[in-house]
Amino acid sequence: MLYWSLVFFLISLVAGILGLNNVAGLSMDIAKFLIALFLVLAIVSFAIGIWTYKKAKNLLNK
């Protein structure tokens, strides 16, 4: 997902240099969305990992 964010960011930079403002704006919006999605999924995954670790630790201590 971060790979595609970087790809869209680079497309945005090239389009901006060439004067294609609509393409640059759209590519930047897609890149921002993908980065935000990555961050949300990373935080959720981290929280679930902590929760399952605590649950498994409690089961082993019984």
Q: Is the pLDDT of residue 59 over 90?
A: no
Q: What does the domain layout of the chain look like in residue ranges? A: 2-56
User: Residue 55: its pLDDT value, please?
Assistant: 84
pLDDT bracket for residue 54 (50, 70, 90): confident
pLDDT at 1: 79
What number is the average pLDDT over the span 19-23?
92
Q: For a pLDDT cut of 70, what percent of the chain falls above it? A: 98
20 pLDDT tier (thresholds 50, 70, 90): very high
Q: CA-to-CA distance for 35 and 40, rounded, in angstroms?
A: 9
Q: Which amino acid, residue 44? A: V
CA gap 11, 20 in Å, rounded: 10
